[in-house]
Amino acid sequence: MSRPNPKQKFALQSIALLTLGVVSVLVWNVLKKTYLSDVQVLSVARVSDPLPNLFGDIYFFLSISFLGVLLGITCAFYLEEWLPETNWVRCLIEGQVSILSGVPSLLYGLLVVTVFLPYSGAFQRTQGFPPAGDLNTASLQVSSFQGDTTLFYIAVLTFVLLVVPRVIKATQEALRSVPIPIRESAYALGANRWQVLTKHVVPLSLPRVVAGACRAMSCALAVSALFIGIYISGYTIQPGQMSGRFALFLGAALLLSIFSSFLSQRYPLASTRHI
């Protein structure tokens, strides 16, 4: 396998830069809000007015997932299409990915609640256990603990661990499912790597890539919903306060997983015919 030519390198680098740019804007937004508002006031506000928070959370959740998915897909394309199978970076990442993507998503939620939150000191800073709706996975933390950047990083870290490996794995499998004779025929017609990728590999694998991304997001949403659910029954001051959020997350998780199954059924693995 030859190395990417300058044009392809440039395209890859611009994708990486773009992703980096979006991440930094997001981080900057959170940093700007740091310690500006009083945590207690906010949590009172959220109890009295849950609706804006609900959409705030979903918005945050979606933007982080979107970035995670984008990062995962880019990473998978790079590993699968550019690095040879024997490259040590590829071996290392693939090893990690196969471990991380095999861990049940529930464990990530437990990891957040039992390790990340206590050790980051999040509970201490908010004096006692957090206000209603905040003991779910870290994905919900930012809008609830508006001022706290550690929680933002916890959320991002959890997503990197939970969503990205799943997306990488699904994307790599989708790319591998593109029949080798199709690639070889396109190359035999004088197409270069970029043309083969954009004209054949991407269109053929796209449904399965999207299906994989939806499945990964569905896992994350489901585990969030579960912790919201546990929290409602255990700690909520005003029962029923969080049920809207619970329903929203659970509903989104279900919808995404159904959509994902639909996609993989509608576009089954292309049959590979060799001679």
Partner 1 sequence: MNTNSDRRSHTAPIIEINDLTVRYGDKPALNGISFDVYKNEILGIIGPAQSGKTTLLKVINRTLEFTAGTTVEGSVKLDGVDVNTVGDVYGLRRKIGMVLPLPVGLPLSIYDNVAFAPRTAGVRAKSELDEIVERCLQQAALWDEVKDRLNTLGTKLSGGQQQRLTIARALSHQPEILCLDEFSIAVDPITTMRIEDVLKELRAEMTILLVTNLVQQAKRLANRTAFMLNGDLVEIDTTDVIFSDSPGSQATYDYVNGTFG
| Smallest separation (angstroms) from partner 1 to the CB of 268 | 14
Q: Does 203 bind partner 1 (CB under 8 A)?
A: yes
Contact assessment for residue 46 and residue 128, using Cβ atoms and an 8 Å cutoff: no
Closer residue to partner 1 in complex, CB, 13/185: 185
DSSP character at residue 209: H
Task: Tell me whether residue 48 or residue 271 sits nearer to partner 1 (CB atom).
Answer: 271
Q: Which of 26, 183, 230, 250 binds partner 1 (CB under 8 A)?
A: 183
Comparing CB distances to partner 1, the nearer of 52 and 181 is: 181
Query: What's the CA angle centered on 249, arms 246 and 250, to 5 degrees?
Result: 80
Reference 196, options 181, 174, 213, 212; nearest CA is 181
Residues within window 163-182 making contact with partner 1, judged by CB under 8 A: 179-182
Reduced to 3 states, what is the DSSP secondary structure of residue 152?
A: helix
Sign, CA dihedral 43-45-50-55, equals negative
3 lines the binding site for partner 1 (CB under 8 A): no
> Binder to partner 1 among 190, 233, 240, 265 (CB under 8 A)?
190
> In the set 195, 244, 247, 258, which binds partner 1 (CB under 8 A)?
195
Q: Does residue 184 belong to the site contacting partner 1 (CB under 8 A)?
A: yes
Nearer to partner 1, 248 or 263 (CB): 263
Which of these ranges, 133-141, 167-175, 185-193, 242-250, lies near partner 1 under the rule CB under 8 A?
185-193
Q: b/e map of 222-238 (b: 16 or more CB within 10 Å)?
A: bbbbbbbbebbeeebee
The interface with partner 1 within residues 81-110 (CB under 8 A) comprises 84-85
Residues that contact partner 1, how many (by CB under 8 A): 24
DSSP H helices in 49-148: 50-77, 88-100, 105-111, 117-120, 122-125, 141-144
Query: For partner 1, which is the closer residue by CB, 99 or 270?
Result: 270
Q: Measured between alpha carbons, how far is 104 from 84 in angstroms, rounded to an integer?
A: 30
The burial class, CB within 10 Å (0-12 / 13-18 / 19+), for 172 is: buried
In one-letter notation, the amino acid at residue 167 is V
Q: What whole-number distance in Å separates Cα of residue 19 and Cα of residue 196?
A: 24
Interface stretch with partner 1, choices 70-78, 91-99, 192-200, 218-226 (CB under 8 A): 192-200
Q: How far is the CB of 270 from partner 1 (least distance, A)?
A: 8
Site for partner 1, rule CB under 8 A: 1, 84-85, 179-192, 195, 199-200, 203-204, 273, 275
